Amino acid sequence: MYVPCLQELECRPQAGPTGLVFSDIFTKYHCLWDSRHPECPERVSTVMNMAEKQGLLARCVSPRVASEEELLLVHTKEYVDLMTSSQKMTEEELKSLSESYDSIYIHPDSFPSACMAVGSVLQLVDKIMASELQNGFCVSRPPGHHAHVDKMNGYCMFNNLAIAARYAQKRHIVDVLYFSVHRYQGGTFWPHLKESDSSAVGTGPGAGYNINLPWNQTGMKDGDYLAAFQQLLIPVAYEFQPQLVLVAAGFDSVIGDPKGEMSASPQCFAVLTHMLKGLAQGRLVMALEGGYNLDSTAKGACACLKSLLGDSCPPLHFDVAPCESALQSISDAISALYPYWSCLHTLGQCYTAVSIFCSECRLLLAVCCVCRRRNAVAIVRPPGHHAEKDIACGFCLFNTVALTARYAQKLSHGPLRVLILDWDVHHGNGTQHIFEEDDR
């Protein structure tokens, strides 16, 4: 796996602003035989209208059409030829072809729109990898992530991000890590595939690079998605060290969506986007995928766009503690991926939210060590970092963090290196004096 050295990072030019890709062609097609079909032009026009009202229209990037050669990076020649021919089909022929696939309709303008959607993502990839842009969002349709190599599926013609990943591999990078968090419910939810479960981790050289996090109930909230990122995606991603992040930005998990039936807030996706910006030097491409409540989709997309533009994270108004079902799904995924990622070796096999009210920090630390919790917070007073070995100082009687570090070393069965971070505005003089001559 290629890891850029410090010299290379310093030599890269400063990245430009956020790019936004949209074309009127994305509003030109619809279902000819069902005027109420949920995959409709309003999905993108509502996003753009809300973005304009909120003053979010960043630097516009001219879209381009993907070439046949680029489509063939993922799809078969026979399939691309068939989709090309759909432009000249009658409504009856289009309906017949659509019915041969799962959850599909085809319009004469579906093919040019799909080619533009792919080309838009590739345009962002090139500009971001050249540091002309820092990140970008494609407000495009049709979506792409359900499309197969040789057939349409789930409203999708060409797999936009799969093509973008192959394109990036060919021009810029080597490895691909795939992560998907999705509604599954034991395989009863569409597309009803066994390979959507956490046990599907990839095969051969790709083993461990395919991560599925299936939700097995509806109503998943902000805390569940945050836990998925904090406990699984972000640790693995930091170990993987991507050079580019591609996001299939579906918003059917935002509260109010009739298909997803989840309860994540739009603000949650701003926070998730902010977390992703810490990867790949901020090189982040987001492309609109699902989302069938027009207002929820627009709010989710605009929340992500605000984060890309550098706005601070909005407050989350929902309970941010993950539910038991989410914790079990995360635990199952970690178990399946445990052999492939060293960062998962310290996480244990079960996660439970723990609240402890006590007068001794060492009790909280013991819970972390014995019960294999990944992290914890002690809300205590008096403070401790000014206390010296033999004298109280600066409101501090005992040096809480120093005692906790020593206690952790005592609990450890072998040598234990402890990082102590002090971001208080006042220097932690006591802590420094306690450890400044320490060889441990």
Residues making up the chain, counted from first to last: 440
CA pair distance 112, 23, nearest whole angstrom: 11
Q: Is 145 a catalytic residue?
A: no
CA pair distance 357, 380, nearest whole angstrom: 9
Q: Is 146 a catalytic residue?
A: yes
**Cis omega (within 30 of 0) on the bond before 266?**
no
Buried b (16+ CB within 10 A) or exposed e, 177-196: bebebbbbeeeebeeeeeeb
7: tokens are 């010299």
- Burial status of residue 415 (CB atoms within 10 A of its CB: 0-12, 13-18, 19 or more): exposed
24: tokens are 């009127």
* C-alpha dist (Å) from residue 345 to 137, 198, 208, 225, 339: 35, 17, 14, 21, 8
Under 8 Å between Cβ of 3 and 241: yes
Under 8 Å between Cβ of 175 and 209: yes
Q: List the beta bridge partners of residue 181.
A: 213
231: tokens are 């406990």
Residues contacting 397, CB < 8 A, separation 6+: 382, 384, 387
Determine which one of 75, 107, 145, 146 is catalytic.
146
CA pair distance 135, 207, nearest whole angstrom: 29
Q: Which residues are catalytic?
A: 146, 386
